[in-house]
Amino acid sequence: MTIKQSNAALESRLESVKHETDILDAMSKKIKNAQEATDAVQKEADELVSLIDRRDAIAERFETVRKTLGDDLWIDKWEDGPTATRVTLRGWKDRIEKFVTRAAARNGGKKRTAAEVVVAQLKDSSGVKPESVKVADMTVLGKGDVLEQFVVEMSFK
């Protein structure tokens, strides 16, 4: 084999290697683009999971409070603050009296106000920091004091 033939064979082999390298570079670029797309989708999925977790936590907090009220009281206002949540609760006087009577029957006849019953039940709840629960305000509304309202402050775990 002559030097010319040898050089031609080397050049042919070099071109073949360059072609294979170009193919590998193109594949590498596709893989990189696919990884970037995957990372972007993963980021969106993580954000969605975070949003669902936050909304689920809010729903759990709401349910914790709602369970303490039964059918006799309702949540009128919900205010999340930096350190505590303020929940305004309302109920018709006659329904609140039934609520208090039922609570007294469950509590050995000990009579408490509706606010005291709700506070005690919230303190017993697993989702609330017991030491944080307190009544912030109590008001009687309507002609003839037919509607009672109280505000409970609490922090959640």
Residue 136 in contact with residue 153, Cβ under 8 Å? yes
* Position 132 confidence tier, pLDDT thresholds 50, 70, 90: very high
17: in domain: no
Domain count, the chain: 1
On whether the pTM is more than 0.75, the answer is: no
Looking at 70-147, list the stretches that DSSP marks H as alpha helix, in order from N- to C-terminal side.
93-106, 114-124
Task: Please report whether residue 62 resides in a domain.
Answer: no
Q: What are 20-45's pLDDT values in tens digits?
A: 999 999 999 999 999 999 999 999 99
Q: Cβ–Cβ contacts within 10 Å for residue 135, how many?
A: 15
Range of the domain at 139: 69-154
Residue 87: inside a domain: yes
Helix/strand/coil for 53: helix
